[in-house]
Structure formats: structure tokens, C-alpha cells
Amino acid sequence: MENKPPEQTLVLIKPDALKNSLTGYVLSLLSETHTGLRFAGAKIVHVHRMLAEQHYVEHRDRDFYAPLLDYIMGLAHYPDEPHKRRVIALVYSGPDAVQKIRDIVGPTNPHVAREKKPGCIRALGTIVTVHDAAGKVGERMDNLIHASAKPAEAEREIKLWFRPNDIPPAMRVYPVEASDAHYYFRDGRLLTTHEPGSLFLLAPGKVAWSSDLETLRLLARGQSAPCPLESVAAKYLINEQS
Ligand code: CDP
Ligand code: MG
């Protein structure tokens, strides 16, 4: 009988949860005892703008996009303390992982969360008033946590935030393969030889998500690819000195 790989989901403990010292509480609610799910990956991430933009790409035309990027990058909660700008990125693995975690997380809007689902994580969040550069007033939902909404979204997000080697080999559920070329990134361009100032992505023999390698190979040949180069490169910027 063929064994189906377990479902996985991405969780981000956002900067407002770190600032309010809710990390331990959130981790307790998501613990294996409560959810039956296991950690497959965990890391502390200083979020680069490219990663933030790719993570929230579906919202790029919305009014709340710019404030949302400031929020996930930690700029909103730590304007003067760059060393505190972090999120905790986690991969949880197990049956029905996406929906189980979304249920504990609760509705997007913290006011709705308090009303409809007391006790959920986002019930502890808040809504803040924000002003854009032109002084236009808007709102941002500071809701403490991100969790993938659908299994397909989870796959895209896990591959965006994690390299295969961040996850124990036996817990990887998406195909991987070894690179057969060198790849570098510079100013939005893919390079196959090093140039000063370029970011190293992969060398021959380094394991990568197969879908990322497909994107890199197509782009290196000048063809169009199913995903933007930035969605591959962003994870290699995580915690690099900028
Ligand atoms: O996070 P979730 O999938 O529940 O919601 P979303 O609609 O994908 O929005 C992503 C994030 O943008 C939310 O978690 C909120 O932090 C923020 N947001 C906001 O600030 N204002 C809105 N009207 C909607 C979302
Ligand atoms: Mg969403």
C-alpha cells in the first residue's frame, strides 16, 4: 500500500507576538499534545523585503499591502530596534495540518476572532490605524500569527521560507534534487557565474526544491518560468548580512 506523505503547513509567529511575549503561549497551543502535529522545521528569520513581498504577493494591489510589509518585516513594531525585527517560522506536519492550525489561529480580524471564537490565538490581536505617505488613513490587522490557508498555499509558502536542508530528510514532503549548476542572484537577475556583489544561491550537488531548480533552469535559458526568480532567491537572503 502506498503511504501518502503527511500534510504540512507554514506558521509565522509575527513581530507583535514576539513583542508581547506570546511566543511560548502560541507554541503551547500548537504543541503535539494539542494538535497531533509535529515540527518539521523552525527558524528565526529577519525578514528581507523581497521575502515579505513574495509571501504576501496575492495582496500586492490591496490598500493594506504596504503596512502589511512593514508589519511582517518588524518595521512597525520595532522602528528603532532593527536587531529585534524577527519572526519565528515553523513547519508543522501531520494529518489535516492546514485546517487544524487555522482553527486554533482563528479569524483574520482580531475583533471578529474575539466575537466568534474566544480563546483562539488571533482573539489576542488588535487593529491599528495607519497613515500612508500621502496621509491617507487605513487599518492594519495585527493578528499575531500567520498560518497557511490551503494545502497548495502551504507548499508555496514552505518552499519560500525553507530550504530542503532546513527540514530533516525524512520529514520533507515536496520533491528535491541536487543542483547541477552554479546559480547567483544580483539586482533581480539570475547569474550562473559569480560577479562581485552577487548572492550565492546554489552550487552543483546542493539539494534544492525540484520546482525551484525547474524555475532556475528555465530562467537561465532565457525562457519564462512558472514562478518569479525572487520566490526562489528570497530564502537564500534569510539572515544574510544586508
Ligand atoms: O492571514 P490570513 O490568511 O487570515 O488573511 P489574509 O486575508 O491572507 O491577509 C494577510 C494578512 O494581512 C492578515 O493576517 C492581516 O495581518 C493583514 N490584513 C490587514 O491588515 N487588513 C485586512 N483588511 C486584511 C488583512
Ligand atoms: Mg492568507
This prediction's pTM: 0.97
Residues 18 and 46 in one domain: yes
Residues 162 and 107 in one domain: yes
Burial of 186 (0-12, 13-18, 19+ CB in 10 A): middle
Residues 145 and 28 in one domain: yes
- Cell numbers found for residue 111: 475583533
pLDDT for position 1: 55
Which residue reads 509565522 in cell numbers?
A: 12
Residues 27 and 144 in one domain: yes
Residues 55 and 133 in one domain: yes
Residues 217 and 195 in one domain: yes
In a domain, 1, yes or no: no
Mutation pick for ligand 1 pocket among 53, 68, 122 (CB with most ligand atoms within 8 Å):
68
Give the torsion sign (CA, 133, 134, 137, 141): negative
Q: 209-237, pLDDT tens digit by residue?
A: 999 999 999 999 999 999 999 999 999 99
Residues 54 and 160 in one domain: yes
Q: Provide the number of structural domains found in the chain.
A: 2
In a domain, 22, yes or no: yes
Residue 215 zone, left/alpha/beta (φ > 0; ψ -120 to 50; rest): alpha
Residues 207 and 106 in one domain: no
The domain containing residue 148 runs over which residues? 7-171
Q: 197-209, pLDDT tens digit by residue?
A: 999 999 999 999 9
- Residue 125, pLDDT > 70, answer yes
Active site residue 77: no
Ligand 2 center from residue 181 Cα (angstroms): 34
Burial of 87 (0-12, 13-18, 19+ CB in 10 A): buried
Q: Which residues have CB under 8 Å from 133's CB, separation 6+?
A: none
CA-14 nearest atom, ligand 1: 16
In a domain, 142, yes or no: yes
As for ligand 1, residues whose beta carbon falls within 6 Å of it are 64, 68, 108, 140-141, 143, 146, 149
Domain boundary among the residues 171, 199, 224 is at 171
Which residue owns the Cα nearest ligand 1 atom 17?
141
For residue 147, the SS3 value is: strand
Question: Which residues have beta carbons under 5 A from ligand 2 (an ion)?
Answer: 149
Per cent of the chain over pLDDT 70 is 99
- Cell numbers found for residue 80: 528603532
Residues 64 and 181 in one domain: no
Residues 31 and 91 in one domain: yes
Enclosing H/E stretch for 234: none
Angle at 42 between CA 37 and CA 44, to 5 degrees: 145
Residues 138 and 182 in one domain: no
pLDDT for position 2: 60
